[in-house]
């Protein structure tokens, strides 16, 4: 009966108070020092510079005060607790990953039986059987679930298994090693690795790491000099051998890959372009395979002296090339599978077949080719959505994949290469939720310059175009990242309460190849904001919603998107969530790996023109201060975010709160022991979305009627 009482109270309170904040909030005063930078003759104010020091006492005091203001506000929302309870119920279902047959001949997969903070890794002799054993439980690595498993890698003989972890959401990686058969933890332990797994070769593995950072600045100082080491099992990290380093280019990333039965080592070099260079180890030295970072190039595998490559060189939508190990330079590459209509997202080897995953209009399609480049067949997928394949060159009969969509959780299938048929291995079920009640359609709208842009709309069947439907619009638009259909249990809470979820495929992503990506970069970045604004206008003009019911959200580069579009069109939105966003475009390149984003953004140090362009849309620097009403805004960030440092959100929130933008709340939610988002424990995910959805419904003036599990509103 308790949830029903909460709902009844919520309905009464919202009726009387209008479900929105009606008074001004007393925000904490942020530390400031009056800093003004001169950039190519332009005076650029940065008065909240002290907030960049995230360990300073003044910053810590401000963070504590801001969190108190935010929690005081959220605690007054009468249905917040009921939303958290409903989200807990919606997430309490079994989720299983795709089985993978490893070098020891056994199958491994992840599973969360409901509300565990982290998924558990299981091992079995038969993935179709219920018999299995627990191999590794990341929940045992911490008391609060903030240690996340980020990767598993088995030695070529299957004797050892290396696993990588992240603590509190940081990008810093630690590597541990187990005896695969006994599951005994070995003494080997690697620290300060980053953007790296364990790449096995013989009795050890390669990994990429940075020099140990300055104490107290582990999560903010710029990372430079990425190096590759070789670690031999049974030895301390201090004895590891430096294999690859490039001190002349401290802002490069370096990643190792070992391919082929007769192991060949490759090093990918990135960080200063849209793609990567590629080098191959040969006779104790290095031979160039791909000479520059202008195109993405990756090694699929090495077979019978031939290197199979996936590349964007000469193909905006990517193609497959082949080169001889004896003569691997780009000038000697031969085309194996030409560029197709869709964007080639990935290629996997299974025995003597290549499985190619193409993206067409933001959904996945899979084709099978032989090693001589001839197409054999298409995989008949059981639906439209996003697919993830698991194949093995050693065990070609073992092909598994998952398929998910906006209205279907990830379902696992086994594919039979001989018959071309798929059989269901595992399908999740969410108690009390009928997914057939919802529908997804894809539409194309026209952006400001006439470009057609796709968008997915997911909503409850029977929704009318009355201009009063709440809509939650999500976008990203950058770094060659494509937004394809995917399921979210949290999102179901919105859908069952009559909210439409709209996901748009903005320029800057990879949906239509490199030209689509390039059209949203550097001095064309405004195209991305125009696309997002046009998406919102389309939803209004088509009668789905109005500005009084429109919420927008984006994270990281998408946080920048939300911040910029709110400043440009504050009248168009009612609620906004800029999450872990890049908000200071004049200084982003000075923190951790921010310099890596220059290929998409450009930097304020590049030229007067680039600096002026960045200043023209930088969310921190373009907040209005003239009484223009802004939507209700809740910024989100985390104390261990060393991808987009929290200083971005700190300074932006301080500027918002100090500006004259009307009485709608401008809050910041600062999570602790959390990072950019990956590996966040289930408990924290539920807490965060309970706050986000509570804030949204409250400021839309809507009571979420399903929070008790009752479909009535």
> Active-site positions?
556, 676
Pick the closest to residue 523 from 438, 608, 399 (CA basis). 608
Mapped onto helix, strand or coil, the DSSP state of residue 490 is helix
What does 185-225 look like in DSSP terms, one character per residue?
Answer: EEEEEEEEEES---EEETTEEEEEE-PPPPTT-TTTSPP--
Mapped onto helix, strand or coil, the DSSP state of residue 558 is helix
Query: φ and ψ at 86, to 5 degrees?
Result: -70, -40
Structure letter (DSSP) for residue 327: B
Q: Are 424 and 413 in contact (CB under 8 A)?
A: yes
Greatest alpha-carbon span in the chain: 79
Who's near 436: CB < 8 A, 6+ residues apart? none
Tokens read off for 17: 């108070």
Q: d(Cα 10, Cα 3) in Å, to the nearest integer?
A: 10
Q: Are 508 and 530 in contact (CB under 8 A)?
A: no
Q: Are 576 and 623 in contact (CB under 8 A)?
A: no
**For the chain, the helix, strand and coil percentages under 3-state DSSP, each to the nearest 5:** 25, 35, 45
Q: Are 494 and 459 in contact (CB under 8 A)?
A: no
Q: Are 512 and 343 in contact (CB under 8 A)?
A: yes
Tokens read off for 211: 């020099």
Q: d(Cα 226, Cα 207) in Å, to the nearest integer?
A: 10
Query: φ and ψ at 591, to 5 degrees?
Result: -120, 140
Q: Are 254 and 227 in contact (CB under 8 A)?
A: yes
* Side-chain-facing half-sphere of 156: CA atoms under 13 Å: 13
Query: Could you tell me the CA-to-CA distances from 476 to 96, 598, 664 in Å, in that order?
Result: 27, 17, 25
Exposure pattern of 374-386 as b/e (b: 16+ CB <10 Å)? eeeeebebeebbb
Q: Are 391 and 338 in contact (CB under 8 A)?
A: no
Tokens read off for 230: 């070789």
Tokens read off for 605: 């140090």
Rg (CA), the chain: 26
Q: Are 486 and 383 in contact (CB under 8 A)?
A: no
Q: Are 694 and 80 in contact (CB under 8 A)?
A: yes
What does 249-317 look like in DSSP terms, one character per residue?
Answer: -TT-EEEEEEETTTTEEEEEEESSSSS-EEEEEETTEEEEEE--SSS-EEEEEEETTEEEEEE-TT-TT
* Side-chain-facing half-sphere of 258: CA atoms under 13 Å: 19
Q: Are 557 and 477 in contact (CB under 8 A)?
A: yes
Strands of 353-487 (E only): list them: 353-360, 363-370, 375-378, 386-390, 399-405, 408-416, 421-426, 438-446, 452-460, 471-474
Who's near 350: CB < 8 A, 6+ residues apart? 391, 392, 393, 396, 399, 417
Q: d(Cα 654, Cα 234) in Å, to the nearest integer?
A: 50
């Amino acid at each position: 009966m308790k949830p029903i009482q909460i709902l009844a109270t919520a309905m009464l309170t919202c009726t009387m108070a209008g479900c929105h904040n009606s008074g001004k909030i007393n925000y904490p005063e942020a530390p400031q020092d009056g800093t003004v930078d001169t950039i190519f003759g332009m005076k650029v104010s940065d008065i909240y510079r002290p907030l960049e020091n995230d360990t300073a006492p003044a910053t810590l005091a401000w963070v504590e005060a801001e969190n108190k203001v935010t929690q005081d506000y959220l605690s007054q929302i009468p249905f917040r607790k009921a939303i958290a309870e409903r989200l807990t119920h919606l997430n309490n279902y079994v989720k299983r990953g795709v089985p993978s047959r490893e070098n020891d001949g056994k199958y491994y997969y992840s599973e969360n039986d409901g509300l565990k903070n982290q998924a558990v890794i299981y091992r079995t002799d038969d993935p179709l059987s219920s018999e299995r054993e627990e191999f590794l439980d990341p929940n045992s690595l911490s008391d609060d679930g903030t240690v996340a498993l980020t990767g598993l890698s088995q030695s070529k003989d299957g004797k050892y298994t290396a696993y990588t972890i992240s603590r509190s959401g940081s990008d810093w990686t630690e590597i541990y090693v187990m005896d695969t058969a006994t599951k005994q933890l070995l003494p080997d332990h690697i620290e300060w690795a980053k953007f790296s797994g364990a790449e096995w070769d013989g009795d050890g593995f390669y990994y990429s790491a940075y020099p140990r950072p300055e104490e107290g600045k582990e999560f903010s100082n710029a990372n430079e000099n990425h190096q590759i080491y070789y670690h031999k099992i049974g030895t301390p990290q201090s004895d590891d051998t430096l294999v690859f380093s490039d001190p002349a280019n401290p802002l490069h990333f370096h990643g190792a890959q070992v391919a082929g039965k007769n192991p060949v080592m490759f090093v990918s070099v990135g960080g200063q372009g849209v793609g990567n260079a590629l080098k191959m180890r040969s006779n104790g030295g290095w031979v160039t395979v791909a000479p520059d970072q202008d195109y993405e190039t990756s090694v699929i595998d090495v077979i019978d002296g031939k290197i199979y490559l996936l590349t964007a060189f000469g193909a905006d939508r990517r193609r497959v090339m082949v080169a001889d190990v004896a003569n691997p330079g780009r000038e000697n590459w031969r085309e194996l599978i030409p560029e197709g209509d869709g964007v080639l997202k990935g290629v996997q080897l299974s025995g003597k077949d290549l499985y190619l995953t193409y993206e067409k209009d933001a959904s996945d399609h899979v084709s099978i080719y032989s090693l001589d480049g001839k197409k054999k067949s298409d995989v008949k997928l059981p639906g439209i959505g996003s697919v993830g394949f698991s194949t093995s060159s050693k065990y070609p009969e073992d092909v598994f994949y998952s398929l998910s969509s906006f209205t279907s959780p990830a379902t696992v299938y086994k594919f039979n290469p001989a018959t071309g048929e798929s059989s269901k291995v595992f399908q999740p079920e969410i108690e009390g939720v009928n997914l057939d009640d919802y529908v997804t359609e894809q539409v194309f709208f026209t952006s400001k310059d006439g470009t057609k842009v796709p968008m997915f709309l997911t909503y409850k069947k029977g929704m009318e175009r009355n201009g009063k439907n709440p809509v939650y619009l999500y976008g990203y638009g950058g770094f060659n990242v494509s937004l394809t259909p995917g399921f979210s249990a949290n999102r179901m809470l919105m859908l069952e309460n009559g909210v439409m979820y709209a996901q748009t495929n903005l320029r800057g992503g990879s949906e239509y190849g490199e030209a689509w990506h390039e059209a949203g970069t550097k001095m064309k970045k405004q195209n991305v904001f125009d696309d997002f604004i046009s998406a919102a206008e389309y939803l209004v003009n088509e009668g789905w919603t109005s500005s009084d019911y429109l919420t927008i959200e984006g994270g990281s580069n998408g946080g920048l998107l939300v911040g910029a579009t709110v400043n440009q069109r504050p009248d168009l939105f009612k609620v906004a969530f800029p999450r872990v966003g890049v908000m200071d475009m004049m200084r982003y390149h000075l923190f951790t790996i921010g310099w890596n984003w220059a290929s998409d953004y450009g930097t304020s140090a590049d030229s007067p023109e680039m600096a002026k362009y960045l200043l023209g849309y930088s969310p921190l620097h373009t907040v209005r201060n003239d009484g223009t009403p802004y939507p209700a805004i809740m910024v989100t960030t985390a104390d261990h975010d060393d991808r987009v440092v929290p200083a971005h959100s700190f300074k932006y929130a301080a500027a918002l709160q100090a500006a004259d933008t009307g009485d709608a709340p401008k809050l910041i939610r600062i999570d602790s022991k959390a990072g950019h988002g990956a590996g966040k424990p289930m408990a924290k995910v539920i807490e965060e979305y309970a706050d986000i959805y509570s804030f949204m419904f409250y400021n839309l003036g809507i009571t979420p009627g399903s929070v008790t599990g009752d479909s009535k509103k």
